[in-house]
Amino acid sequence: MKIETGSSGDIEIVRIIGIVDTTTAPQAESKIQDLLDNSCKKMVIDLSETEYMSSSGLRVLLSTAKKLWAKDGLLRICQPNKVVKDILDTSGFSVIMDVRDTEAEALKDF
């Protein structure tokens, strides 16, 4: 797994590339926590190149959302491919999280 970060104004963008599972989730969580520690209150997680996400990866998303909500922040998820979208739908994450089809939609009206 590889994680790329960038920003658009005050919005942090995190791109997760590869597989997020028990082995790689701690790395994703650590990278995201670094951003949260630097006063990040708005985040987009781009899943366009995420091949698969296990329950460990879902926990990272939920933990990130809770940490942002606690400081009146916001998390949006964008561009999940079909496999990851099915996982988000089946787990109910599509209902409790803000999932957008494109990065542009995720960044709009933040």
Q: Give me the domains of the chain, ranges plus CATH numbers.
A: 2-107 (3.30.750.24)
Instruction: Give the integer Cα–Cα distance in Å for 18 and 53.
Output: 9
Buried b (16+ CB within 10 A) or exposed e, 2-39: ebeeeeeeebbbbbbeeebeeebbeebbeebeebbeee
Query: Over 90: is that where the pLDDT of 104 sits?
Result: yes
Q: Please, are residues 58 and 91 in contact by the beta-carbon 8 Å criterion?
A: yes
Q: Please, are residues 46 and 84 in contact by the beta-carbon 8 Å criterion?
A: no
Query: Which tokens sit at 89?
Result: 């739908």
Percentage of the chain exceeding pLDDT 70: 100
Neighbours of 89 (CB within 10 A): 13
Q: What is the pLDDT of residue 6?
A: 96
pTM of structure: 0.95
Q: What is the pLDDT of residue 12?
A: 97
